[in-house]
Chain A
Amino acid sequence: MTTLRKKYHDLGNKINTALMYIGAVKDQVEMYGGSEEDKKYFGNTIKKCLVAENVLLELDQELSAIKAVAYSLTDPDKDLKELALEAKARNQDVKLLVIDNDRGLCTIIKEKYEGRGFKVETAIDADSGKRMLLSWVPDILLLDLYLNVGMEGVDILRFIRSEKLPVKCAIITGETDEDKLKDVRALQPDEMLIKPVMAAQLTAKINAMVSSLRRK
């Protein structure tokens, strides 16, 4: 049943990704000016996007139906709310550290995930972040790349790897230049997300890291 759940979860993610790409194509086509002939051509592209979108939405509905059956088979008396409460109770053993130089962002993430049961602490610079890593020993780390004056996030990741700290690390950065991200990827973070990240995506990644912690 776990495999089935994982399958519909993965399928749901794929559908969302496809919808996202179709949305991006629609945005770009809508934005394109060009000649009347171009407009006619792109008008057809928009129509095709709408058809594809509808197919995906139908698939999503079918998937939801399968999901409902899967839930009823595993937990006949439990609905989404109860499962979420169970997850919240389980999360109380999980320590989440956020290292980001944006204090406002740290507060938002802390409030959000404390509400979902996690123990959350924050640090706004590399030094206090390293201290928290050693003294508080988090299970999961959400790490920004740019902290005090430069890309110290990568130093923290390097520190984690060299000290073999048992923490799952997700890099969350606004950096999109692949050349600059090479060093970071070489250190194999558990997750790598480019800002702005959708909240559902962030939660899914955190949940995936929690699951992998529990499998150990």
Chain B
Amino acid sequence: MAATPEGIRLLWKALEGAHERVAPAVWDAMDIFCVARLDEMIAIASRAGEGPVPVEDARVITALADRVRRFLQGFKRSSDGIGGVKDGVVMLSPIALELVAHYVGNDLYKIILIADVYDAFPEPLAAGAGVKIIANATMIKDFLKDLKEKTR
């Protein structure tokens, strides 16, 4: 299945059918290493309002996005239908993992590209970039909230 709207819809349906659960320990880790960093990005981007985002702020957002990226790329597939945190590795059941990889991966990728500062010409991000960063970070948070609800 896929990161197309139809693919995502089918994945949600499959998730419900498979009765996959996500262990509370995973959500604890997710809150600390993903949601808190998304909140930080939103707070920084909010300071610019609809105006340009200063270079220093953009670089902090990029660093935060990179940390979320590294956290997510460390996830492994679990076959026990619930997953957990084992030996420091986050284990997710297959469909939940696929949803996280496709959905969060795409939105985080957009944040990374929007917040990128060209080192040769370190200029503030164009007006409106902050709003786009907030929108994408909020979408990831909403997705995680839905996933938490449906895998409780």
Contact = CB atoms under 8 A, between A and B. Distances in A.
Contacts of A177: 98
Interface of B is mostly: helix
Nearest to B87: A32
Contact of B120 (A24, A28, A83, A108): A83
Contact of B121 (A84, A148, A175, A202): A84
Given A23-B70, A150-B2, A196 B116 contact: no
Chain B: number of interface residues, binned into ranges: 35 or more
Contact of A32 (B6, B88, B114): B88
B110 A80 contact: no
A176 B101 contact: yes
A72 to B, nearest CB: 17
Interface string A72-113: 000000001101110000000000000001101100110010
B70 A27 contact: yes
Nearest to B104: A196
B120 A197 contact: no
Contact of A197 (B32, B72, B109): B109
Interface stretch (B15-23, B48-56, B61-69, B142-150): B61-69
A140 to B, nearest CB: 16
B2 A151 contact: yes
Contacts of A47: none
A195 B109 contact: yes
Interface string A192-208: 00111111101000000
Contacts of B88: 28-29, 31-32
A147 interface: yes
Interface of B: 2-4, 6-7, 29, 32-33, 62, 65-67, 69-74, 85, 87-90, 98, 101-102, 105-106, 108-110, 112-114, 116, 118-121
20 contacts: A24-B70, A27-B67, A27-B71, A31-B32, A80-B119, A84-B118, A84-B120, A102-B106, A109-B113, A144-B3, A147-B4, A150-B4, A151-B2, A174-B102, A174-B105, A195-B108, A196-B72, A196-B109, A198-B112, A199-B116
Interface of A: 20, 23-24, 27-29, 31-33, 80-81, 83-85, 101-102, 104-105, 108-109, 112, 115-116, 144-151, 174-177, 194-200, 202
The 10 closest A-B pairs by CB, nearest first: A84-B120, A199-B116, A146-B2, A28-B88, A196-B109, A174-B105, A195-B105, A196-B108, A32-B88, A174-B102
Given A85-B120, A105-B110, A105-B113, 20 more contacts: A23-B70, A24-B73, A27-B71, A31-B29, A31-B88, A32-B88, A81-B121, A101-B3, A104-B110, A112-B113, A112-B116, A115-B118, A146-B4, A146-B7, A151-B2, A177-B98, A195-B106, A196-B65, A197-B112, A199-B112
